[in-house]
């Protein structure tokens, strides 16, 4: 299945903003995150089609997975 | 401080802090060792100062009986990373209940002034009454007790914060400084004067790289008292870092908690500026007086855009490895850093930038530079100016002041400059008063009289119960974006238990970035207290002390006339919901009513138990 992965802020550095990637059917969000080799301390917010999910969420073909770092004040 | 016990929670009176009370009317000075009443006193900061403020009957901020309390925390000047905070407390000129009574406020700042103050041997300076002539106060380490003297400050009048600090640096070796600017000097017309605190970087480079205790108008209170600056002169006291603190410090840097605040070149998230990128994903970056438009305008101030044209230097506070400062410099032809323009933190960048319809880095830097040098709170100034622009958009036929509109840099610059010089009380008195004078209060973005931070109120009902700066005294501001939680149980627990713990940092002397998610009730802090001072305190005791301090702050608001109807978000949020924000809508009347009911059930009971 095709998943559009969107990266935000520091997660884009040395990578991309958005890419369509192939994954097996019934891949979970956590598996996609692990496969992208992102710095774990920066992957904080997980969204699928704009909604908050956790790593156990099962993706469907055509989903948009957005990965963001935490919001910090100051 | 003197510790006659290793158990401050059980035996607080066996911990004594050194306090100097300066009477500016008589010139009298009283130096004393004061026994702590409770663990909150031991920790310091607002935990102690609010107990003093609660004993005073203050009906107006600009009265002699309103003390300005300057203190440090238990870990200020310690080996713990970020242990450098100074706190300024008093009844606020800007934050006021509908009954017209001033709220007690504190603000906190970094730089090296706090450590130097602690190393003089003084834990707290209480400034009573006011001086007829402008003065500055010198706190100096001597062999025995700290020495406090008043000096004439006529030569400092009218100087910017940076100029004052540079002038004092010429006179005092091995010292750091706190200073107000023209805004604080014009306290009658500027209620949000800030206090600038010098940094090692500033004194070395001679660039105006200061830190601020910005919120609540403590610089205006200082100006009312005719105190233009403070000097803390002492030798540095840090020797070898004890192993447990070294371990804690390494954890602060490498443990992941502060990763998002560290420089990108080091694999960090690049500081608070990154909030732009994250919030823009939800169209929740404030635009044009807190009305995000669902477009890509905020992206023009993304770091990736700004760094195409400007050099961004990652710099740090004294001994801090987090290195969260993003200092913007011109770029020379050879690619090196040229003139320093401003420090880009999320709040001033947004509230003096995108939220005013300004999207050019140089323009925003110029406004930040003005606020810093005139010494006024960027949040209050930015939010009040954005109200003016919003009013003018609604009333083009009869605009306020110079008729400035969103994106109109020249006129906005004029407003900010004249406010800082005390020429525009309409802005200097804050958005609550301005909106009441126009009769249009719905889109005045304050809560309880204090302008809100750069987080859309639709995403943060926790603002209502913040007892000082809206995001730094209630850590719910990123919760919706981060966790997506919309259920009442989560929000009630966050407001009444978990996210209020952020205020603990404004007691103990550490910067919030030490561990912003977990507060001070952690093993790291327990270990630091043991290693630095030989104290045995548990996490639970720390959390309980923080909770008590918070509840006292809330009770003090009610004592100052706040009715529960004032614990509400700006009316525009529910009157005219913004559907451009793609986060779940928490601000339905039903949700807010139930949230209020449940939060007050808990807080009312807990305040009663505390009293």
On whether residue B183 sits in a domain, the answer given is yes
Are B261 and A72 a contacting pair at CB < 8 A?
yes
- In chain B, residues 298-337 whose CB comes closer than 8 Å to chain A: 304, 324
On whether residue B433 sits in a domain, the answer given is no
Structure tokens at B530: 């043991």
> Which residues of chain B make contact with A11, given a CB cutoff of 8 A?
none
Are B270 and A10 a contacting pair at CB < 8 A?
yes
Question: What pLDDT does residue B334 have?
Answer: 94
- In chain B, residues 575-594 whose CB comes closer than 8 Å to chain A: 582
Domains of chain A in start order, with CATH, are: 2-68 (3.10.20.30)
> Which residues of chain B make contact with A47, given a CB cutoff of 8 A?
281
Number of independent structural domains in chain B: 1
Interval B369-388: pLDDT, tens: 999 999 999 999 999 999 99
- Which residues partner with B451 through β-bridges? B446
Three-class secondary structure of residue B338 per DSSP: strand
Q: What is residue A57's DSSP assignment?
A: P
> Which residue range forms the structural domain that includes residue B76?
2-233
- In chain B, residues 352-411 whose CB comes closer than 8 Å to chain A: none
- Which residues partner with B69 through β-bridges? B89, B126
Statement: residue B271 has pLDDT above 90: no
On whether residue B147 sits in a domain, the answer given is yes
Q: Using CB atoms, which residue from A8, A41, A51 is nearest to B259?
A: A41
- In chain B, residues 444-503 whose CB comes closer than 8 Å to chain A: 453, 455, 471-472, 477-478, 481-484
**CA of B565: how far to CAs of A18, B446, B465, B493, in Å?**
46, 14, 12, 21
Interval B67-105: pLDDT, tens: 999 999 999 999 999 999 999 999 999 999 999 999 999
Contact status, residue B289 vs residue B352, Cβ threshold 8 Å: no
CA pair distance B73, B399, nearest whole angstrom: 46
Q: What is the SS3 string spanning B134-192?
A: CEEEEEECCCCCCEEEEEECHHHCCCCHHHHHHHHHHHCCCEEEEECCHHHHCCCCCCC
State the nearest Cα–Cα gap between B438 and chain A, in angstroms.
31
On whether residue B208 sits in a domain, the answer given is yes
CA pair distance B360, B279, nearest whole angstrom: 19
Question: What pLDDT does residue A74 have?
Answer: 63
On whether residue B88 sits in a domain, the answer given is yes
State the nearest Cα–Cα gap between B566 and chain A, in angstroms.
24
* pTM of the predicted structure, to 2 decimals: 0.97
State the nearest Cα–Cα gap between A18 and chain B, in angstroms.
13
CA nearest neighbour of B556 among B101, B24, B41, B116: B101
Strand order in the sheet with B337-343: B311-315, B325-331, B337-343
Question: What pLDDT does residue B469 have?
Answer: 86
**CATH code of the domain in which B196 resides:** 3.60.9.10
Q: Which of B71-80, B474-483, B490-499 has the lowest mean pLDDT?
A: B474-483
The residue that leads in pLDDT, B470 or B399, is: B399
Q: Tell me what the pLDDT averaged over chain B comes to.
A: 96
Interval B516-531: pLDDT, tens: 889 999 999 999 999 9
CA pair distance B45, B34, nearest whole angstrom: 15
Please report which helix (H) or strand (E) contains residue B508, including its range: helix B505-508
On whether residue B327 sits in a domain, the answer given is no
Question: What pLDDT does residue B383 have?
Answer: 98
Answer whether A21 touches B (CB < 8 Å): no
Which of B260, B272, B276, B316 to mutate to probe the A interface, most A CBs <10 Å?
B260
State the nearest Cα–Cα gap between B323 and chain A, in angstroms.
14
CA pair distance A62, B408, nearest whole angstrom: 43
On whether residue B529 sits in a domain, the answer given is no
Answer whether B294 touches A (CB < 8 Å): no
Residue of chain B whose alpha carbon sits nearest to that of A50 = B582
Burial (CB < 10 A; 0-12, 13-18, 19+), residue B122, is buried
Interval B127-138: pLDDT, tens: 999 999 999 999
The residue that leads in pLDDT, B560 or A14, is: B560
Question: What pLDDT does residue A70 have?
Answer: 83
State the nearest Cα–Cα gap between B372 and chain A, in angstroms.
15
**CA of B596: how far to CAs of B14, B565, B605, in Å?**
40, 10, 14
CB-based contacts of A70: which residues, under 8 Å, 6+ apart?
A44, A45, B260, B269, B278, B478, B482
Rg, chain A, Cα only: 12
Model confidence at A24, pLDDT cuts 50, 70, 90, reads very high
Three-class secondary structure of residue B213 per DSSP: strand
Which of B109, B256, B277 to mutate to probe the A interface, most A CBs <10 Å?
B277
On whether residue B54 sits in a domain, the answer given is yes
Interval B191-202: pLDDT, tens: 999 999 999 999
Question: What pLDDT does residue B265 have?
Answer: 86
Interstrand relation of B135-140 and B147-152 (parallel, antiparallel or unpaired)? antiparallel
> Which residues of chain B make contact with A9, given a CB cutoff of 8 A?
269-270, 274, 277-278
- What does the DSSP assignment read for B13-77? GGEEEEEEEEETTT--EEEEEEE-SSHHHHHBTHHHHHHHHTTS--S-SSSTTS-EEEEEBTTTT
């Amino acid at each position: 299945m095709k998943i559009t992965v969107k990266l935000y802020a520091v997660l884009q550095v040395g990578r991309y903003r958005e890419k369509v990637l192939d994954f097996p059917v019934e891949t979970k969000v956590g598996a996609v995150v692990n496969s992208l080799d992102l710095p774990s301390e920066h992957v904080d917010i997980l969204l699928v089609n704009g909604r908050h999910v956790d790593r156990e969420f099962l993706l469907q073909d055509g989903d948009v997975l957005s990965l963001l770092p935490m919001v910090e004040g100051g | 401080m003197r510790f006659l016990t290793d158990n401050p929670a059980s035996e607080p009176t066996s911990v004594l802090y050194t306090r100097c009370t300066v009477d500016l009317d008589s010139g009298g000075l009283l130096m004393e060792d004061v026994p702590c009443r409770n663990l909150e006193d031991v920790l310091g900061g607002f935990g102690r100062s609010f107990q003093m403020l609660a004993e005073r009957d203050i009906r107006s901020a600009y009265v002699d009986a309103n003390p300005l309390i300057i203190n440090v925390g238990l870990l200020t000047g310690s080996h713990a990373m970020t242990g450098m905070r100074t706190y300024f407390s008093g009844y606020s000129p800007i934050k006021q209940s509908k009954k017209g009574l001033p709220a007690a406020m504190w603000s906190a700042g970094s730089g090296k002034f706090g450590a130097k103050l602690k190393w003089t041997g003084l834990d707290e300076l209480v400034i009573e009454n006011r001086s007829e002539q402008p003065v500055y106060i010198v706190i100096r380490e001597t062999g025995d007790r700290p020495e406090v003297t008043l000096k004439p400050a006529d030569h400092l009048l009218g100087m910017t914060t940076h100029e004052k600090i540079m002038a004092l640096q010429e006179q005092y070796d091995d010292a750091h400084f706190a200073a107000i600017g023209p805004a604080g000097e014009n306290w009658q017309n500027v209620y949000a004067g800030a206090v600038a605190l010098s940094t090692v970087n500033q004194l070395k480079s001679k660039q105006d790289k200061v830190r601020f205790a910005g919120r609540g108008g403590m610089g205006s209170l200082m100006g009312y008292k005719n105190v233009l600056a403070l000097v803390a002169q002492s030798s540095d006291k840090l020797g070898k870092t004890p192993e447990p603190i070294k371990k804690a410090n390494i954890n602060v840097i490498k443990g992941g908690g502060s990763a998002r605040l560290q420089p990108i070149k080091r694999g960090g998230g690049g500081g608070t500026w990154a909030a732009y990128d994250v919030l823009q994903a939800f169209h929740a970056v404030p635009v044009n007086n807190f009305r995000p438009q669902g477009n890509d305008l905020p992206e023009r101030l993304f770091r990736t855009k700004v760094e195409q044209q400007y050099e961004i230097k990652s710099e740090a506070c004294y001994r801090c490895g987090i290195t969260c400062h993003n200092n913007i410099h011109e770029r020379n032809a050879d690619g090196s850093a040229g003139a320093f323009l401003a420090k880009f933190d999320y709040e001033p960048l947004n509230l003096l930038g995108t939220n005013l319809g300004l999207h050019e880095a140089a323009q925003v830097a110029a406004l930040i530079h003005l606020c810093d040098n005139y010494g006024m709170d960027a949040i209050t100034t930015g939010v009040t100016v954005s109200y003016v622009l919003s009013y003018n958009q609604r009333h083009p036929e009869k605009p306020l002041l110079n008729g400035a509109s969103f994106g109109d840099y020249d006129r906005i610059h004029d407003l900010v400059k004249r406010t800082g010089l005390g020429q525009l009380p309409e802005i200097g008195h804050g958005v609550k008063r301005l909106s009441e004078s126009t009769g249009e209060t719905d889109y005045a973005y304050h809560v309880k009289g204090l302008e809100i931070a750069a987080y859309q109120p639709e995403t943060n009902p926790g603002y209502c119960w913040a007892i000082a700066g809206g995001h730094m005294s209630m850590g719910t501001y990123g919760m919706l974006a981060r966790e997506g939680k919309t259920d009442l149980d989560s929000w009630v627990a966050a407001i009444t238990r978990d996210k209020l713990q952020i205020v603990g940092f404004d007691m103990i002397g550490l910067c919030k970035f030490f561990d912003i998610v977990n507060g001070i009730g952690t093993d790291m802090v327990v270990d630091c207290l043991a290693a630095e001072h030989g104290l045995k305190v548990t996490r639970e005791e720390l959390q309980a002390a923080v909770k008590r301090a918070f509840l006292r702050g809330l009770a003090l608001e009610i004592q100052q006339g706040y009715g529960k109807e004032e614990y509400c978000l700006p009316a525009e949020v529910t009157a005219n919901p913004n559907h451009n924000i793609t986060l779940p809508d928490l601000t339905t009347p039903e949700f807010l009513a139930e949230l209020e009911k449940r939060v007050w059930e808990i807080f009312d009971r807990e305040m009663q138990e505390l009293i």
